[in-house]
C-alpha cells in the first residue's frame, strides 16, 4: 500500500516509490518492435532540469543523432498539468503542435492518469508517445540507431563490456540516481536515514573504484559514466541542500569531484548542463519541500572549469 506525499508515492514506511514507466515500446533498427528507427520520425522531449532526460540529451549528442531525432525542451517549472512547452512561440511545440506533453500521453492512452515524465519519445506523425522508458531509451540510441550515428561516434555500450556496465549501473541507479530522490521525498526519518546511508556508501564505493581508473568501466566513456554524471552534476546545486544529502558536498569528495569535472569538461557533457533550469525546477516545483520557492544563487559554477588532473 502506498500513500501520496509531496505529489509522489511513498510506502507505508515513508519510502519514496518511483512510478513505473507507462510506455515501454522500443524503437528498433529492423522495426520488429513495431517502431523502426528512421530519421525525422520521432521527437525526443526533455527537460534540461531532469537527470533522466539529461542522459538522453548527452547520448544523442555524443552519437551525432541531432539530425535524426529532433529535440523538444519543456519549461523547467512543471505546473498542475505537467510539463509545458512555454519556451516555444505561442506556448506550443512547433512540431507536435501541443501545449503540454500530457496531450501526447493521452493520445497514446486516453485512460492515463499517472504522472507525465521526461524523457519521452513521441511519434511525429501520430502524436503518440512511443516510450518514456528512460533506461532503455539511451541503450537503444546506442545499439538500434547505429546506422545514423556520426562517423567515429563512441560505442557507449560495447558488447564486450555490457555485463560489467549493467552490474555497475544497477547500484548506481538504486542508491545514487534514485537514492537522492529517496532522501528528498522520504516521509519518515527512518526511510530518509536508510536512503542517506545507502547513497553515501555507494558514493564511497564509486570513489574507491575511480581512484584507480579514469572511467567506471574500461578506458573510455560508457553509458555508466553518463548515468552517474547527471546526478553528480546536480549534487551541490540541488541534492545537497534541497534533498538533505548533506554528509558532504561533491566538491568535498576529491575523487568524485575531479571525475565529475573531467566529464563536465568533455565535449558533449558540460555544454548540455543548464544550471538555471536545474535550480528553478527543483526549488520552484517542489513547493512542499521549499514552500518559499526561493532559488539559491550558489554554488559558484566557475569551479567546474578548474583543472581536474585526470588525464
Residues 244-297: tens digit of each pLDDT: 999 999 999 999 999 999 999 999 999 999 999 999 999 999 999 999 999 999
Residue 146 to residues 44, 65, 140, 226, Cα–Cα distance (Å): 17, 9, 9, 18
Measured distance CA(239)–CA(179) in Å, rounded: 10
Upper half-sphere CA count for residue 169 (Cβ side, 13 Å): 21
Consult the annotation and say whether 115 binds a ligand: yes
Secondary-structure class of domain 2-148 per CATH:
alpha beta
State mean pLDDT over 204-219. Answer: 98
- Spell out the residues 6+ positions from residue 207 whose beta carbon is closer than 8 angstroms to its own: 253, 255, 256
Question: With 60 as the cut, is the pLDDT of residue 6 above it?
Answer: no
- Spell out the residues 6+ positions from residue 164 whose beta carbon is closer than 8 angstroms to its own: 217, 218
**What pLDDT score does 13 carry?**
87
> In this structure, what are the phi and psi dihedrals at residue 293, rounded to the nearest 5 degrees?
60, 25
3-state helix, strand, coil in the chain (%, to 5): 45, 10, 45
Measured distance CA(10)–CA(48) in Å, rounded: 26
**What pLDDT score does 80 carry?**
86
Question: Do the domains spanning 2-148 and 159-271 agree at the CATH topology level?
Answer: no
Q: Is 117 left (phi over 0), alpha (psi -120 to 50) or beta?
A: beta
In sign, the C-alpha dihedral spanning 286, 290, 292, 294 is: negative
CATH tag for 159-271 (out of 1.20.1050.10, 1.10.8.50, 1.10.1270.20, 3.40.50.11540)? 1.20.1050.10
Q: What percent of the chain has pLDDT over 90?
A: 95
Measured distance CA(5)–CA(69) in Å, rounded: 36
Domain positions in the chain: 2-148, 159-271
Q: Mean pLDDT for the chain? A: 96
Q: What percent of the chain has pLDDT over 70?
A: 97
Consult the annotation and say whether 117 binds a ligand: yes
State mean pLDDT over 184-194. Answer: 98
Question: With 90 as the cut, is the pLDDT of residue 199 above it?
Answer: yes
Query: For 218-231, how does the pLDDT look when each residue is reduced to its tens digit (9 = 90+)?
Result: 999 999 999 999 99
Neighbouring CB atoms inside 10 A of 194's CB total: 18
Question: With 80 as the cut, is the pLDDT of residue 52 above it?
Answer: yes
User: In sequence order, what DSSP letters do the residues of 151-183 get, joined into one string?
Assistant: TT---SS-GGGHHHHHHHHHHHIIIIITHHHHH
State mean pLDDT over 189-215. Answer: 98
Consult the annotation and say whether 83 binds a ligand: yes
Please identify which of the residues 42, 50, 105, 196 carries the catalytic annotation.
50
Longest dimension (CA), the chain: 53
**What pLDDT score does 8 carry?**
54
**What pLDDT score does 155 carry?**
98
* 183 assigned to active site: no
Question: With 60 as the cut, is the pLDDT of residue 4 above it?
Answer: no
Chain CA centroid to CA 136, Å: 12
Amino acid at each position: 500500500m502506498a500513500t501520496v506525499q509531496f505529489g509522489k508515492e511513498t510506502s507505508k514506511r515513508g519510502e519514496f516509490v518511483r512510478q513505473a514507466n507507462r510506455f515501454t515500446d522500443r524503437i528498433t533498427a529492423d522495426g520488429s518492435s513495431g517502431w523502426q528507427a528512421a530519421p525525422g520520425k520521432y521527437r525526443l522531449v526533455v527537460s534540461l532540469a531532469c537527470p533522466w532526460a539529461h542522459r538522453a540529451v548527452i547520448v544523442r549528442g555524443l552519437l551525432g543523432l541531432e539530425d535524426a531525432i529532433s529535440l523538444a525542451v519543456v519549461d523547467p517549472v512543471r505546473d498542475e498539468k505537467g510539463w509545458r512547452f512555454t519556451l516555444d512561440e505561442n506556448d506550443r511545440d512547433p512540431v507536435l503542435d501541443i501545449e503540454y506533453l500530457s496531450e501526447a500521453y493521452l493520445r497514446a492512452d486516453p485512460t492515463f492518469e499517472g504522472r507525465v515524465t521526461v524523457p519521452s519519445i513521441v511519434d511525429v506523425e501520430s502524436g503518440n508517445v512511443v516510450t518514456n522508458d528512460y533506461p532503455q531509451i539511451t541503450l537503444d540510441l546506442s545499439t538500434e540507431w547505429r546506422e545514423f550515428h556520426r562517423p567515429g561516434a563512441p560505442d557507449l555500450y560495447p558488447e564486450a563490456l555490457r555485463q560489467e556496465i549493467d552490474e555497475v549501473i544497477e547500484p548506481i541507479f538504486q542508491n545514487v540516481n534514485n537514492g537522492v530522490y529517496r532522501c528528498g521525498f522520504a516521509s519518515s526519518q527512518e526511510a530518509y536515514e536508510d536512503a542517506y546511508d545507502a547513497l553515501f556508501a555507494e558514493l564511497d564505493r564509486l570513489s574507491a573504484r575511480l581512484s584507480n581508473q579514469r572511467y567506471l568501466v574500461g578506458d573510455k566513456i560508457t553509458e555508466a559514466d553518463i548515468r552517474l554524471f547527471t546526478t553528480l552534476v546536480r549534487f551541490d546545486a540541488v541534492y545537497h541542500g534541497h534533498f538533505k544529502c548533506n554528509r558532504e558536498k561533491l566538491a568535498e569528495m576529491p575523487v568524485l569531484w575531479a571525475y565529475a569535472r573531467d566529464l563536465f569538461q568533455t565535449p558533449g557533457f558540460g555544454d548540455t548542463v543548464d544550471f538555471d533550469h536545474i535550480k528553478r525546477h527543483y526549488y520552484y516545483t517542489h513547493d512542499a519541500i521549499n514552500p518559499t520557492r526561493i532559488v539559491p544563487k550558489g554554488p559558484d559554477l566557475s569551479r567546474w572549469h578548474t583543472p581536474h588532473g585526470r588525464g
